[in-house]
Amino acid sequence: MFVVFFSIGAASLTISILCDDLVKYYRSKNDLVVRQQAVDKLKSFNADLDVLLEKLEEDPNNNAKRLAPAVLGTKPEDANAVYPRATPEQLAAARQALAQDPNNQSAAPKLPNWLTRCSEPSRRITLFIAGSFLILISFTCFTPPRQSKVKEKR
């Protein structure tokens, strides 16, 4: 019984004292996952840009002639070429699609429910007091009895 009461009391004391550190740990773990996803996204963008640059280096004149009207909005040199014009609505939809954050926050680890409940100040105080009482009870009620002085003299 001593071990059970003492263990539960020590665990509740530890949780109530280290609650802020546990919250920081889980939040930093979450930040790490989100930042790693952002780094992976940037790596994929770099890979795509490297491929585009390689194609541009292969034939700079041809690609520049094709890309300039589309990017800069100038008139094409080739009279037979058709370059579609994007409407403002289409551009807004494309910007919105590109601006969406692919970092899925639901995939990142969140705070456990028990830690969310324990981090409330009133519950932390309750955990601390309950743990203290359990440790005191375990030491006062479950310690081995002392030998009486009368038995020691004999």
How many other C-beta atoms lie within 10 A of the C-beta of residue 127?
20
CA dist 19 and 128 (Å) reads: 11
pLDDT of residue 12: 92
Burial class (CB in 10 A: 0-12, 13-18, 19+), 126: middle
- Token pair 């359990």 in the structure block, residue: 134
CA within 13 Å, CB half, 42: 6
Output the pLDDT for position 81.
66
Please report the DSSP string for 102-148 in residue order.
---GGGS----HHHHHHTSHHHHHHHHHHHHHHHHHHHHHSSPPPPP
Instruction: Give me the percent of the chain exceeding a pLDDT of 90.
Output: 32
Q: What is the pLDDT of residue 101?
A: 62
pLDDT tens digit sequence for 85-131: 677 787 788 777 777 765 555 555 688 888 888 888 899 999 999 99
Weakest-pLDDT range from 4-8, 46-50, 65-69, 101-105? 101-105
Residue written as token pair 């969310």: 116
**55 vs 85: which has the higher pLDDT:** 55
Q: What pLDDT does 68 receive?
A: 67
Q: pLDDT of 60-80, one tens digit each?
A: 666 666 666 666 667 766 677
pLDDT at 43: 93
The model's pTM? 0.54
**Which residues make Cβ contacts (< 8 Å) with residue 154, sequence separation at least 6?**
none
47 versus 99: the higher-pLDDT residue is: 47
The whole-chain average pLDDT of the chain stands at 80
Buried b (16+ CB within 10 A) or exposed e, 4-21: ebbeebeebbebbeebee
H or E, element range at 22: helix 2-58
Q: Given a cut of 80, is residue 153 above it in pLDDT?
A: no
